[in-house]
Structures are given as structure tokens and as C-alpha cells.
Structure 1
Amino acid sequence: MSDIRYKVLWVDDLTGTQDEIFAAGFESVADGQGIDLIPFTNWEEAELELKKNFKSYSAIILDANCKYGKNDSKTDEFFIPSVVSSLARLFGEKRQTIPWYILSAGTMSKFDDVVQIAERDHAVHQEEWGDLVYLKDAIDNSQNSVDVMFENIIKVAKNQNANIIAFNFQEVFKYLGEGKLICKEARAIMMDMLCTFYYPADNWQFKYEGNPLRKVMEYIFRAAYNYGLLPLECFERDNQLNLLESNRYMSGLETKHSGLRYGNEGDTIFPKFMGNITQQILKFTNVDSHTNEEHPYTIDDKNLEISEDEKELYFSYVLQLCHVIKFFGAFVDSHPDKEANKKMKKVVSVSTPDDTVFADPPVGQRALVQMGETGPYILNCRLVSSFGKYVGSYATITEVNQNKGKDSDAYPYYAKVKIEK
């Protein structure tokens, strides 16, 4: 049985006790039909949301007498004609339409006039979308009832590109979205890429810039960190994530900067074939583009240009990324205990920038100051917390003392260092 749910934008100012009672029942009925209503009390804010997440919505429900602007003090009887004009412009820009309906009590003085104006734009879609107007107090399953409106919404939604993709890739999208394993931003990117691949004519505005593949990989790694499957040592200054180090750790290999690995020899999150796939995706998408602390999920890299000859390769990685998401999701399903996952972090050895292994204690060694789960460190030595401001800087160890703290297994020494200016 499919667990696909449909997202519907609902604009109604909902004033008064009766409206609140109706809203509670209305949302309950929608939920039972597999519809998630996203409510707004005015068109200004609803339109901003629609522009931002256009492909996320399967339909729009409008009250006939509502507020247009968020700061308006009263409703506008010509709310619908104004919204219809806005929708016409938006649909023209997107070159796509979303079914829209009027749900009202039908009591305002100019209701018939407003409906007549709206029908001019709605009529061309009547056969596909169903009737335009539905009444809040109509008898269940009557021609103009809420039940029939929801039936029409679902009927249309099942044939929308994004919903077809969501259905065909259910095993991927069950791990993507609000409140799921991997965040909603990753879901939006994957939906854009898959829709562009399967329906290129309808998605001609898709932009390859900004490393969309690499963004999704970073979201996967950040999700791994949230479940204890990636150590803090894979993060650098300003919350930047070292992608190649992250990939090595999850592939059961030793990290080059911190000498860590997941589990013992033979333990791995990504088996060899999967680690090779993720490594190739990272190399193709310019692994050196990074996020920053203020905007950890925004990658402002405009240098990724895809030529016509590379599009097949690009979309092959999109499909491989689907496989990565399914595999990673299944792994988390079977390893949900964060604390148990964190205990799989093992110290193997610590390498200098020249990849040479040193004997303890590492006095005289030069390396990067990094941030671990218990504070700043360099090689296998802990540093006092004030050295957190030097993360990402090179330093030379001048003196070491025994670490008697709880993290002594990972960092047997406390170090004094000389920071390079």
C-alpha cells in the first residue's frame, strides 16, 4: 500500500469560533484522505510559500472572502479575482499549473460575481480538475461537498509529475523530508533532479549550478552525524564538513587527518562498492566547495557547469544517489542507537600532513588544530578549550603531559603548542 501524501495550500483567515470548529474537522478529514493541509491566513504569505516550494504542492484551496495582505485589517470581497491574477502570472512563469478550488460558506454579498470571474480561468481545466466551488456546510458526498473536492484533488495529484516520481521512488523518498532521516532540502533537490530527468520539457528551468548532487551528499553525511555514524572530527572550521574524510570514515577506511575509522577491520557503513559510488559523485561535483557556519546547508558554488555531453553522466549519478539514499536509510533503520553508533569510532593511527606515522609522544610534530567531540585537539593530543578559536590553523607540539580525563583512550596526552600566525 502506498504511503504517498499530498500537500495542499489552504488560504482562509479563519475568524471566529465556528471557523475554528470547521478547521479542526476539515483538517481531520483531509488527513484521513492522505492530504496534508498547509494553512495561511492571507495570500501574501501563501504566495511566497508557493513560489518557494511550487513543486511540493498538489492543489490550492481558497476561501472566497479572505485577507490579501498579511497586514490587512479586514477581508477583501474581491480576494479571489486578485489571487486568480497572481496565479495566472505564477503559472506562466513556471509553465505549469496547480489545480485550485474555492471552499466557502457562500454567504458574502458578491459571492456569485466572484465565482463568475474565477470560472473564466478555471473553465479550461474543468474536465481535468473537477468543479470549482465547494461549500463548507454541504452534505457529505454531495456534488459540492468537501469529500468530493478531496477526491478531485487526489485524482489530479496522482497524475502530477512530482507525485508520480514520489510514487515510483517511494523507497528513496521515505527517508527524505520534514521530520525524516534526511532533511526536506535534500528532498526538494532530489525531486527537482528526478523530475528534470524524467520530464525535461516540463522542467526546462532547472539549473545545474550550485552543486545539487554535492548538496545531497552533504545532507546524507550530516544525517549520519546526527545518528552517531560520523564523528565530529570530520568537521572543520565554521562547521564546514570535510566530504572526503566523511566518505572515508563511512566506507570503513582510516581518515587521513584524525586517524579514525568506523569499527574494526571489516566493519563499514558503506561497503566498498558504495564507497566508490559516493567518492565518484563527490569528485564529479567539485568536492572543494564548502558550506559555512552561518549557512551550513547553503553551497554558493556557481562553477559547476554541465555540458550537453555530460548530462547523461550527471543523471547517471542522480540515479546512483537514489541507491545511496536507500542503502544509507536501511543501514540507519538497523542501527538506530546513536550512542551505540558513536562507540564504533576507533582510533587507528594519527598521520602528519606528510602521511608519516610517528611514535608517541608527538613532540615536535606539526599538524592542524581540529575540533573533536570533547574539545579541540591536535594529532592524538587534547588542547585546552580556549584553543577552539585556532581550529583549522597549523601548530607545532612543544610539550605533552598525560591526559587523565575520560577521553584518554583517544587522546593520551594534553599538549602545549605553538600556533603558526
Structure 2
Amino acid sequence: MNENLIQVLWVEDDPQITLTYPLEAAQYGIQLVPFSCWEDAEKALVSDFKRWAAIVLDAKCKYKHDSHDNAAVFLTQAIHAIDTICANHHRILPWYVLSGGSEEELNDLIIDSREEWDGDWKQKKYYSKTTDRDMLFHRIPYHARVSPEMQIRLVYYPDVFKAIKNAELDDDLEIYMEELLLPIHSINYSGKEYNDKMTKVRKCIELIFQSMAQHGLLPNKKQGQNLIMHDILVDKRGGINNTWCSMIIAGLDIKKGENIIIKSSRNILPNVLKDSFQRLIEISAANEHAENKGANEEQQKNSRQTSAFLEKIGNAPYLLRGMVMELCNIILWYANYLYEHDDEEINALNWEVLKS
């Protein structure tokens, strides 16, 4: 085994091809390791699962040593076995079909789960031996590089990323959540590097609040055909008053002095999340502003003093990890709430702007 090359388990029974294709693949940083039937390949997959970065299947191959070449039997059995083995290891292992067959023969045999990693390959469901080898050998290393992110999205937190899509939350929220979740499952980040990402918690919450305004759950105004956050919740620089937003969805009125400027008539938060938004806002904001050195003594006393706390515990990552898990709960709750309360006009009955 060449440890400098990406290890790819390859099921192919043509001896001429197994001599020539590995030489081509090596130029792309890939070591194709051939097996003449799925029975042998499966043993290698199970016994040394961590070795493999991808699987390539010839369509017309033998399932067992004494089987006949049969694409329907081979692909059906092999793909099912791959899915089962990967599920047992809680990991996605990209697989590809590299074949000399026709689309008419193969399309119905290749299941749509391949789109989870290869969905942007639109030409067909497989790669042609005669025309697409170069493309496949380019894509395998690319998918191998992004595989940790793929694990985060498809194995560890599929419900969270599905909820982000179902709620039609901003695409940036997906990116921020991936950046916050990935270090939890990686040893390649120091505590300080991870804690520096805390600002992304605030950004995620702001994107959720923007979505709430678009669906009538927070004060909004019309801009063309769209609803956007009401001016009263936005400062001159375009920043959102996260504290006020968190109070409104908790059913609390917003006051300036003795005057109520936003009347809130309903707490939409479940009790377990009653304090979550404000807690995450305060902790992340305190860390961002380095405990607000310009604040007075009373403000300093009431500050969460995040950065000072992190210094005392050696920048351990556990505070931020806990915040990110809490954020996952918020996203799941919000997507479900939005599914059950999708009428903007009814949602807007929860609040009233009394004074700008």
C-alpha cells in the first residue's frame, strides 16, 4: 500500500483493465486496488474499513467467485452491502460506477443515494470507461478532501442540515454550522482556534431572526415582494438587536424608559429553550467585544466575561461545544415551529410596534 495515495477499493474482473487503469489513476494521487468479485472486496472493506477513501464498481462483475457476470445482481447486492457497512461505521464512503455499459442497462440499477456526494455529476448516473475516466479520477480526490464535511452533514447531524433546508434558512447558516460542528469531531483544532469561531454562533442566531422576520414572527416591513426586519430592530450599520428579538419571541415587551415601543403578546419558545437565545447572544457577544472594556463598572459586573473564563480554563473547547449543541436544538425547534405555523399574517399577531 502506498500511503501517499488515496486508497480506492475497486471491483473489476478484466485483467487487461486492472493492469492499465491503476497507472492512470496514480497520476491523480489514487491507488486503485482491484478485486475480481464483490465477495473478496467486501472482506477487504470490512477488515480494513478505515483504509478506504472511496469505492469504484464495474457494473458487469461477479458477486461471488462462482457467479456469472450480472449487472443487476452485482450492483444491487454490492450497493446494499456498502450502505449497511457504512451505517455500522457511522461514515459515508463515496462509491462510483465505472462501466462500459449503456445508460439503458444501468440507470435503473444505480440508486439515488450517490447524489449525496456526486449529485453535481449531471451527465449520467455512472462514469463511462471510454469517455469519463479522467473526470472520475479528478472527482475522487476532491470528494476525499471534503469527506470530513460530508460526514458532518450526512452522518453526525443530518437532521440539523435537513432542518436548515426545510426552513429555507440562509445558505450561510449551513456554512457556519459546518464550521462550528467540524472541529468537535477533529483533532486538528486547538481550543483557542475553536473558541475563535464563537462569533459564528451570533451570526447563526441573526440569520434565524432574519428568517423569523420574513415569516412574521418578528416585527417586519415590506420591501418589494419580501418581508424584512423592521427598522426598529436594526441599527444604522445594519446590525440586528439580538436581545430585543430574543425578548419578543419570549413574549416580553420592549421598552424605552417607561414607554413600551414593541408589544409582544405571545411566548413562542418551549420552556427548555426559554433562556437559550439570550444566553447564547450574551456569551458570544461578550467574547467578541473582549468584555467591553469601555463599559462601566455595573455593566462589567453583569457581563458574561466569556474570554476571561476561557483563559482560566486553558481555552478548553467545551463551552462552545455546548453552545453549538444548543444551537442545533434551536434549529430543529424552529424548523418544526415554522412547519406548524406557516401563516405570516397570523404569526404577525404576536407583536405590535407602538412607537418608532
TM-score, normalised by the number of residues in structure 2: 0.51
CA distance in 2, matches of 1:212, 1:97: 33
Which residue number in structure 2 is paired with residue 130 of structure 1? Answer: 55
| Paired residues for 1:175-324 under 5 Å | 175-177=163-165, 180-197=167-184, 199-202=185-188, 208-209=196-197, 211-231=199-219, 232=230, 233-257=232-256, 259-263=261-265, 267-286=266-285, 307=311, 308-324=314-330
Q: CA deviation at 1:168?
A: 3.6
Identify the range of structure 1 (128-137 vs 161-170) with the bigger mean alpha-carbon deviation: 128-137
Instruction: After TM superposition, give the deviation of residue 273 of structure 1 in Å.
Output: 4.1
Q: Which amino acid aligns with 2:187?
A: A
**Alignment root-mean-square deviation, CA:** 4.6
Code of the aligned partner of 2:30? H
2:195–2:320 contact (8 Å) kept in structure 1: no
Distance 2:164 2:247 in 1: 23
What residue in structure 2 maps to residue 327 of structure 1?
A: 333
Counterpart-to-counterpart distance in 1, 2:112 and 2:270: 48
How many pairs were matched up?
Answer: 227
Percent identity at matched positions? Answer: 16
Name the CA shift for 1:335/1:151 in 2 (closer, same or farther; >3 Å).
Answer: closer
Change (3 A) 1:274 1:130: closer
The answer to whether the 8 Å contact 1:210/1:304 transfers is no
How far off is 1:138 after superposition? 3.0
Q: 1:152 to 1:286 in 2, by over 3 A?
A: closer
Q: Secondary structure at the match of 1:256?
A: strand
**Quick one: which of 159, 184, 187 aligns to 1:171?**
159
Q: Please state if 1:343 is matched with 2:349.
A: yes
| Structure 2 Cα separation of the partners of residues 131 and 312 of structure 1 | 39
> Deviations along 1:107-144, whole A, 9 cap, x unmatched?
xxxxx99984442411168754234997686335989x
CA contact (8 A) 1:165 1:191 kept: yes
Query: Is the alpha carbon distance of 1:147 and 1:272 closer, same or farther for their aligned partners in structure 2, counting shifts above 3 Å?
Result: closer
1:185/1:216 Cα in 2 relative to 1: closer, same or farther (>3 Å)? Answer: same
Alpha carbons of structure 1 residues 125 and 152: separation in structure 2 relative to 1, 3 Å: farther
Q: Gaps (5+ residues) in structure 2?
A: 11-18, 35-51, 58-95, 119-139, 220-229, 290-305
Read off the aligned partner of 2:248 and give its amino acid letter: Y
* Cα distance change on mapping 1:150 and 1:171 into 2, 3 Å: closer
| Residue type at the aligned position of 2:168 | L
Name the CA shift for 1:337/1:316 in 2 (closer, same or farther; >3 Å).
same
Looking at structure 2, the residues matched to 250 and 229 of structure 1 have their Cα atoms a distance apart, in angstroms, of 7
Q: Shift of the alpha carbon at 1:149?
A: 12
How does 1:137-148 map onto structure 2 within 5 Å? 138-139=101-102, 147=110
1:87-166 equivalences under 5 Å are 116-120=23-27, 121-123=29-31, 128-131=53-56, 138-139=101-102, 147=110, 160-166=147-153
Displacement of 1:147? 4.4
Matched residue SS, 1:280: helix
* Distance in 1, Cα, partners of 2:7 & 2:242: 38
- How far off is 1:165 after superposition? 3.1
Matched position secondary structure for 1:336: coil
Instruction: Select the structure with the greater relative contact order (CA < 8 A; seq sep ≥ 6).
Output: 2
Give me the whole-angstrom Cα distance separating, in 2, the residues matched to 1:149 and 1:273: 38
CA deviation digits over 1:381-408, x for unaligned, max 9? Answer: 7xxxxxxxxxxxxxxxxxxxxxxxxxxx
Question: CA 1:310–1:288 in 2, change beyond 3 Å: closer, same or farther?
Answer: closer
**Uncovered stretches (5+) of structure 1, i.e. residues with no partner:** 1-91, 102-111, 291-302, 351-379, 382-421
- Give the CA deviation at 1:342: 1.6
1:249-284 C-alpha deviation (Å, 9 max, x unpaired): 111111134632332xxx212245423111111111
Question: Is the Cα contact below 8 Å between 2:341 and 2:347 reproduced in 1?
Answer: yes
TM-score in terms of structure 1 length: 0.44
Please state whether the residue corresponding to 2:187 is helix, strand or coil: helix
Q: Take 1:148 and 1:271, find their aligned partners in 2: how far apart are those partners?
A: 40
Summarize deviations over 1:202-225 as a string: whole Å, max 9, x none: 556757246011111111111111
Letter in 2 for 1:139: S
Is the Cα–Cα contact under 8 Å of residues 169 and 208 in structure 2 kept in the other structure?
A: yes
Whole-angstrom distance in 1 between the partners of 2:7 and 2:251 = 46
3-state SS in 1 of match to 2:269: coil
Task: State the AA in 1 paired with 2:175.
Answer: A
Matches of 1:98 and 1:218, distance apart in 2: 42
| Maintained 8 Å contact 1:244/1:287 | no
| Aligned AA (1:237) | K
Moved more, 218-227 or 180-189: 180-189
Counterparts of 1:164 and 1:140, CA distance in 2: 30
Change in 2 beyond 3 A, CA 1:256/1:238:
same
Higher helix share: 2
